[in-house]
Amino acid sequence: MLLFFVVLIVLVGSFLQANIGFGFPIIAMIFFPSLFPFSTAVTLNQVIAIASTLFVSIRYRAHIRWCILLPLLVSSILVAQLVILFSLSIDASSLTIVLGLFLVLLSLYFARFSERIRIRATMTNGFLMGLFAGIGNGFFGIGGPPVALYLFASVPDKKSYLATIQAYFLFCNIHSILVRSLHGSLQVSHIPIILVGWVSIAIGTYTGLKLFSKVPEYVLKRIVYLFVGLSGLWIALQQLL
């Protein structure tokens, strides 16, 4: 029964991520903490996700915007390193509420002003957005929403967006997996779950990419804003209720 739930969660999350660039960690972290200890849930989420992020990053490698990615990535990993070690010893429920409400406000802001305001892809802007993403990555394995909003406003087309955000996830996941594994978040008994997750994420990613090529960019942008807001609301309500 556990493997069935893992397969279902991974299929839905990976299909979504292949279309809007993120989403699998959010779907996984809505359900995984009820199936595993919190730190293990975050680590399994990232170990399973790495199969998809590696594949998409290689497939669209020519579209990765490294000059935009690197400032974002450096600050995110530095912050995540500190936050991961801190999160291993605290109750993250109150911080989860803050994260959820922050995502709602961020989504509303970009949905309202994205057509008027274009974020310049500067080193400072990338560094600042990486700080927000690093906090989410470190505590919950969820750094995609702020990165998605930033990249959508700073890269020229949807292929560059997908390639760059998946490369971001790939490097962040590798870092987080190493740190959490050294602190006992993964066990040998998790190997069957990981293998089943990889098969499921391959199926979900493949079918999702088929749809990605057919979705107009303006529709994709609106889906991103809507999903960021709804996911933030759901994350906050889970703790409040």
Entry pTM: 0.77
Calpha distance 223→64 (Å, rounded): 22
> How far apart are alpha carbons 5 and 187 in whole angstroms?
19
* 8 A C-beta contact, residue 145 and residue 136: yes
Residue 124: pLDDT over 60: yes
Mean pLDDT of the chain: 82
- Burial label, 154 (beta-carbon count in 10 A; 0-12, 13-18, 19+): buried
Higher pLDDT, 102 or 198: 198
Give pLDDT, residue 40: 87
Residue 90 gets which letter from DSSP?
S
204 and 23 Cβ atoms separated by less than 8 Å: no
| pLDDT one-digit tens code per residue, 125-158 | 888 888 888 888 887 777 777 787 788 778 878 8
The CA distances from residue 76 to 66, 79, 186, in Å, are 15, 5, 23
From first CA to last CA, the distance across the chain in angstroms is 26
Mean pLDDT over 223-235 rounds to 74
164 closest CA partner among 151, 173, 150, 176: 151
Give the range of the structural domain holding residue 9, as residue numbers without chain letter: 2-240
The answer to whether the CB of 155 falls within 8 A of the CB of 67 is no
Binned at pLDDT 50, 70 and 90, residue 44 comes out as very high
Q: State residue 18's pLDDT score.
A: 79
Q: How confident is residue 118, by pLDDT bands cut at 50, 70 and 90?
A: low
| Letter string b/e over residues 63-82, b meaning 16 or more CB atoms within 10 A of that residue's CB | bbbeebbbbbbbbbbebbbe
DSSP designation for 156: S
What pLDDT, on the 0 to 100 scale, is given for residue 200? 93
DSSP annotation of 36: S
Residue 225 has pLDDT above 90, yes or no: no
pLDDT at 76: 92
pLDDT class of 187 with cuts at 50, 70, 90:
confident
The encoded tokens of residue 187 equal: 């066990």
With vertex at residue 113, the alpha carbon angle to CA 108 and CA 119, rounded to the nearest 5 degrees, is 110
Residue 183 has pLDDT above 90, yes or no: no
pLDDT at 100 over 90: no
Average pLDDT for 23-39: 80
The number of domains in the chain is 1
Residue 28, pLDDT score: 83
Residues 142 and 26: beta-carbon distance below 8 Å: yes
Taking only the tens place, the pLDDT of each residue in 4-19 is: 999 999 998 888 777 7
pLDDT of 92 over the 70 cut: no
